[in-house]
Amino acid sequence: MADVKVPLRDMHFSLQEVLNYTSRSAELGGFEAVDEDTLSAVLEEAAKFVEQELAPINQSGDQQGCQWNDTVVTTPDGFKEAYAAFVEGGWASLSADTEYGGQGLPPSMATLLSEMAGTANWAWAMYPGLSHGAHATITAHGSEEQKATYLGKLTSGEWTGTMCLTESHCGTDLGMLRTRAEPNEDGSYSLHGTKIFISAGEHDMTDNIVHIVLARLPDAPKGTKGISLFIVPKCLPDENGEAGERNGVSCGSIEHKMGIHGNATCLLNFDGAKGFLIGPPNRGLNCMFTFMNAARLGTALQGVAHAEFGYQKSLDYARDRLQMRSLSGQKNPDKNADPIIVHPDVRRMLLTQKAFAEGGRLFVHSLAMDVDVTESDASPQEIGKADARLALLTPIAKAFLTETGFESANLGLQIFGGHGFIQEWGMEQNVRDCRISTLYEGTTGIQALDLLGRKIVGSQGGLLRPFLAEIAEFCDAHENTREMANVVATLRTHCDEWETITTDITMRAMSNADEIGAASVDYLMYAGYVVLAYFWAQSRATALNALAQPTCTEHDFYQAKLTTCDYYFEKLLPRTRSLVATMDAGADPLMALNADHFRF
């Protein structure tokens, strides 16, 4: 029951009809070869791979889990074989630079593959998923020798990568990390310390793992200004560039987790492991943001994946499950009950999942195309514009789409009723697997502080204004279309309100810095609802245009877009009203209680 089908029709709608994917790719220097035939071929073949190779081992992988034995980690049955098929099919190299054996397609192509793989089997998808961040970090900050040593193997998928950030005592506060890097005579470093929560930190799917590790040099200043970045391979490359002598890094244990059991979350011990400085000394956190931003977009995608999974499975169930009669009159007189899809509350849950899955997909695809711009031969002005848009929208996407993805996963389980609580249907696994998405790569609270504190207040609104102008331009283009009038008016109202809220919080924060923290999560969720409204408005405009064509043969598909857009604007966007009220309440209700009085 837990298998899924890739929503190819909706992906095509998002990419081609709303975002003009291939046309825009053709305008970017370096990606001119991406035409509609190429896109369709990649999507269709990728769909076959994930449906045939990954979906069948999702539930069994969860039930079997990873096994640890004396530093050795064994992945669930079928994971290693699926990864071998992934590498053999050339999927690992899809968006990598041709200089290192890649196929040279836009980075967004890898995002589309990750979306499919993650929906079918998130735990498996994390193994190659983290390699993209390692590849990007070495590409951006590595020396030519480091690129020559590692990028070819990461490109092919022969080796995988990890991100080693936190330690047991510091969590998100990386300024507290203690792992140290002592210089060796040959220019390398010996790393000593322990890292926790390392996804895919040890496994049996490849013969080498390239760890990207944060550590301190002996003379490093305290705090985040004294962190450097290192490449620490599990096995040191030999003279032929293959995995050679085992390095001094080992897996001390794997975590026993709520979900994603098929992915090994490791405690890694660095006992004099040989590492190689990447980027400037004491600038490691800055360099690591290359990896972290890629991971945050990948996690935003996870929210969409779990929303899609929950929607697909609960929709099938709601059509088949017979229970009670419709309050407006029986709909299935030949049976002793009606299918539960006729009941308004079940419709509420299904439409909420649909709105978040399809709207979130368009949101992620749009950001993936911004990444394409930053990796292309576009003008500095175009790249700067895409970078600024990503800076603003990445924390919103990461936090909002994972929060709504978790909500959708729970709604999917709810539609199943008691059966959703039972393992065999796969719904409780979807909830468990999804829960981590709001935590790793920066919790919702951390993303909210990044958005409001650093991106909005820190730029004095400089990052927000261009995006609001983008929405205003869309509204100007569609305000005279009768079927768009209400949507456009609502968008304009919310954008004006967004600016007002921003000004109010900024003014209050001038006299009380806690106002930022008190408002931040509500502010991010407000922003998320408005951003998704913008993408649903684009979907509506596209669907209306398609329905107006005399050759349209998919009336039901486009009408469903219009109806879901209406649902979003009338039933979900109004959640912003309570968020405005809680932001207006300020910090006092949160900070008034003495910390000692929290006890029972």
List, for residues 462-496, the tens digit of each pLDDT value: 999 999 999 999 999 999 999 999 999 999 999 99
For residue 121, what pLDDT band results from cuts at 50, 70 and 90?
very high
With respect to CATH, is domain 287-447 assigned 3.40.930.10? no
For residue 70, what pLDDT band results from cuts at 50, 70 and 90?
very high
Cα 176 to its chain centre, rounded Å, is 26
Q: Give 264-281 pLDDT, tens digit per residue.
A: 999 999 999 999 999 999
Q: According to the model, what pLDDT value does residue 336 have?
A: 86
The residues, any chain, with a CB within 8 Å of residue 570's CB and separated by 6 or more, are none
Burial of 41 (0-12, 13-18, 19+ CB in 10 A): exposed
Strand partners, 182: 190
For residue 62, what pLDDT band results from cuts at 50, 70 and 90?
very high
CB 239 within 8 A of CB 220: no
Specify the length of the chain in residues: 600
Strand partners, 477: none
CB 546 within 8 A of CB 552: yes
Within 10 angstroms of residue 463's Cβ, the number of other Cβ atoms is 19
Q: According to the model, what pLDDT value does residue 228 have?
A: 96
The radius of gyration of the chain from alpha carbons, rounded to an integer in Å, stands at: 24
- Tokens standing for 245? 């002598």
Q: According to the model, what pLDDT value does residue 555 have?
A: 98
Cα 322 to its chain centre, rounded Å, is 36
Q: According to the model, what pLDDT value does residue 600 have?
A: 67
Q: According to the model, what pLDDT value does residue 326 have?
A: 82
CB 544 within 8 A of CB 483: yes
User: Does residue 76 carry a pLDDT above 60?
Assistant: yes
570 given a catalytic annotation:
no
The CA distances from residue 98 to 45, 105, 190, 207, 420, in Å, are 21, 9, 33, 23, 46
Q: According to the model, what pLDDT value does residue 43 have?
A: 97
For residue 1, what pLDDT band results from cuts at 50, 70 and 90?
very low
pTM: 0.96
SS3 163: strand
State how far the Cα of 478 lies from the Cα of 476, in Å rounded to an integer.
Answer: 6
Among the listed residues 370, 396, 341, 340, the one whose alpha carbon sits nearest the alpha carbon of residue 523: 396
CB 231 within 8 A of CB 146: yes
User: What is the residue extent of each domain of the chain?
Assistant: 287-447, 458-586
The residues, any chain, with a CB within 8 Å of residue 457's CB and separated by 6 or more, are 505, 506, 509, 516
Give 397's DSSP letter: H
Q: Which of 424, 441, 470, 515 is catalytic?
A: 441
State how far the Cα of 155 lies from the Cα of 159, in Å rounded to an integer.
Answer: 8
The residues, any chain, with a CB within 8 Å of residue 70's CB and separated by 6 or more, are none
User: Does residue 294 carry a pLDDT above 80?
Assistant: no
User: Does residue 2 carry a pLDDT above 70?
Assistant: no
State how far the Cα of 24 lies from the Cα of 19, in Å rounded to an integer.
Answer: 8
Element spanning 269, H or E: strand 265-277
Q: Give 526-579 pLDDT, tens digit per residue.
A: 999 999 999 999 999 999 999 999 999 999 999 999 999 999 999 999 999 999
In the predicted model, what is the mean pLDDT of residues 386-400? 96
In the predicted model, what is the mean pLDDT of residues 312-335? 89
Q: Give 179-234 pLDDT, tens digit per residue.
A: 999 999 999 999 999 999 999 999 999 999 999 999 999 999 998 899 999 999 99
SS3 337: coil
How big, in percent rounded to 5, are the helix, strand and coil portions of the chain? Answer: 60, 10, 25
- Tokens standing for 336? 């002793």
Amino acid present at 117? A
Strand partners, 249: 270
State how far the Cα of 286 lies from the Cα of 371, in Å rounded to an integer.
Answer: 18
Answer left, alpha or beta for residue 570, where phi above 0 means left and psi between -120 and 50 means alpha.
alpha
- Tokens standing for 281? 């000394």
Residue pointed to by tokens 């900024």: 506
